[in-house]
Amino acid sequence: MEIWVIFAVTAAATQALRTAVQRRMVAPLGSYGAAYIRFSYACPIAWLCVVCYTGMTGATLAGLPFDFWAWINIAALTQVIFTILLVQLFSHRSFAAAVAFSKTEVLQTAIFEALILGVVVTIQTGFAIALGVFATVMLALVKTNLSIGNIRQSIMSRQMAIGLAAGAFLGFCTVSYGAAMKAMIGGSLLSNAVYAAAIGVTIQAVCFGAYLYVAKRREFIASFVKWRGGAMAGVWAAICSICWFAAFLNHEVAPVRAVGQVELLFSIGFSVLYFKERVSRLELAAMALLALSIIMVLLD
């Protein structure tokens, strides 16, 4: 198995774990507070990883040219915007349908990667990405038992536009991270991944923290007061970011994100085992399609 696949699957697994922690913390912290802990607690852990890795291996840190700083800031800020847009959807009745449209992120990533970096996926990978997007949208819609009428109404709603925008910002963010990684000068694979992850999450913790301090101060303070419940989100988020970045250094961004959709399978597994939720036949069918799309990417 290629190293980028291992990194992508590990990133997806830790992302699912991080999401499970955040989901549990929504009640005590609020939606914004639960979203923020992925940045605030990941920041010190990521820098601890930098110190430990360089100290143990003697690895030198990469040079950071202007292109890196431009791309890493764009990536970090667009991910913060994505997070804010997604959180805004939590209170809307058409939340699930809107989130389903945000799952088009992988398809939009492939488009942005072609436009910005000039990297075009093969026909097989392109079809697999489209199939995976269809499966993830299907999973999101099945969860809510939406009728055809409700889906049609949701497509014409403001929330749908926010969902698509969220997917676009996340897709652009992912490609920007890939561009930042490729701009780094020297350094080893893991040292670059750890270093870039620490820088990126620091920018996010500061910017999103400033936004919350002004707009949602109670949730901002609660995210630190209830640190025992939220700290693990930072651990999983730091590992997740490092693995995503390592995968981006090894392969094109769109296929990495396509394989990373295995996170949904992990998430459903956590829902069944941890939250004791049931899986319907339609969900099983969507999961099978998603698994097929990932296999198609791996076989290409």
CA distance 208 to 85: 12
> Pick from 74, 178, 64: which is nearest to 118 by CA?
178
pLDDT at 93: 46
Output the pTM of the full model.
0.81
Q: How far apart are CA 286 and CA 71, in angstroms?
A: 35
Beta bridge partners of 185: 63
pLDDT above 90 for 18: no
Residue with the two structure tokens 């431009």? 70
The whole-angstrom separation of Cα 242 and Cα 298 is 21
- Whether residue 85 contacts residue 162, with contact meaning beta carbons closer than 8 Å, is answered with yes
The closest alpha carbon to 29, from 207, 214, 220, 275, belongs to 220
Question: 269-278: long-range contacts (C-beta < 8 A, 24 or more apart)?
Answer: 269/16, 270/16, 270/17, 270/20, 274/20
Percentages helix, strand, coil for the chain (3-state, rounded to 5) are: 85, 0, 15
Q: Residues 85-112: pLDDT tens digits?
A: 877 765 554 445 555 566 677 777 877 7
* Range with the poorest average pLDDT among 3-12, 151-160, 214-223: 151-160
Closest CA to 139 of 24, 5, 291: 291
Domain locations along the chain = 3-299
- Paired strand residues for 63: 185
pLDDT digits (tens, 9 = 90+) for 120-156: 777 887 787 788 777 777 766 665 555 555 555 555 5
Closest residue by Cα to residue 15 from 240, 220, 192: 240
Please provide the average confidence, as pLDDT, over all residues in the chain. Answer: 81
